[in-house]
Amino acid sequence: MDERCSGPHSGPMETFESLVRAEFAPKNTYLNTASCGLLPARTVEAMRVAVESVADGRPSDMFDDVEAARAAFARLAGVPAGRVAAGASVAVYSGLIAASLPPGAEVLTAEDDFSSVVNPFHVRGDLKLRAVPLERIAESVRPGTALVAVSAAQSADGRIADLAGIARAARAHGARTYVDVSQAAGWLPIQADAYDFVSSVAFKWLVCPRGV
């Protein structure tokens, strides 16, 4: 693969390494991107300009920035930009999905999955939650399962769910699928339209500030 890159932010002979070094310059060796990604230099500059504009009394509405971010995520997720909603947290969208389920609906989850994925369903109080080991999710979908909610990659240990198998099993039993790709989007190929609902924070591998 040719390492030379070209584009609006690069010269004709810049290498991938030189581009990365131009965008990321931590003072220490940084190994915790899975928890919180490093911000690229261009993101830091954009945030500085936005904050200073507010301090100077000329705030920007940022609608164009939001639309650009929606379009960028849509390209990564393989869906039209019109299907992408911008919000502040995975828990908010988990709560919306939980609120849409009828009383008594069965929700299948992975044992010890991240709290933002599963807690909103517990809070409902009138849903039937069933947790199984991650490796058994697909085989555990059954008639009467209304929703399968799972992280694409587990926050605790990085295990990857069998998303294709889960989607097939859910379709076979008439269940919907909800996938949190917070620990996957940006490095693991995601085809979001293979599932009914997909959510993601963007401050990990998508190198955005928190709250996106």
Q: Please name every residue paired with 15 in a beta bridge, in sequence order, or none if there are none.
A: 4
> Exposure string (b/e) for 143-168, b if CB count within 10 Å is 16 or more?
eebbbbbbbbbbbeeeeebbbeebbe
pLDDT band at 4 (very low <50, low <70, confident <90, very high): very low
pLDDT band at 1 (very low <50, low <70, confident <90, very high): very low
How high is the pLDDT of residue 2?
44
Terminus-to-terminus CA distance in the chain, angstroms?
32
| Contact residues for 61 (Cβ-Cβ < 8 A; gap 6+) | none
CB atoms under 10 Å from CB of 47, counted, come to 12
The CB-side HSE value for 88 (13 A sphere, CA atoms) comes to 1
Domains of the chain, each with CATH number or no CATH = 1-42 (no CATH), 83-199 (3.40.640.10)
How high is the pLDDT of residue 87?
87
| Strand ranges across the sheet with 176-180 | 128-132, 106-110, 145-151, 176-180, 197-199
pLDDT at 140 over 80: yes
Question: In whole angstroms, what is the distance from residue 132 CA to residue 74 CA?
Answer: 31
Give the model confidence (pLDDT) of 80-127 as tens digits.
Answer: 999 999 988 999 999 999 999 999 999 999 999 999 999 999 999 999
How high is the pLDDT of residue 33?
84
The CB-side HSE value for 117 (13 A sphere, CA atoms) comes to 30
Which 3 state secondary structure label does DSSP give 12? Answer: strand
Question: In whole angstroms, what is the distance from residue 25 CA to residue 192 CA?
Answer: 32
**pLDDT over 70 percentage in the chain:** 94
* pTM of the full structure: 0.87
Give the model confidence (pLDDT) of 155-170 as tens digits.
Answer: 999 999 999 999 999 9
Question: In whole angstroms, what is the distance from residue 195 CA to residue 170 CA?
Answer: 9
pLDDT at 3 over 50: no
Q: Could you tell me the CA-to-CA distances from 102 to 44, 110, 121, 144, 146 in Å, in that order?
A: 44, 21, 12, 12, 9
pLDDT band at 13 (very low <50, low <70, confident <90, very high): low
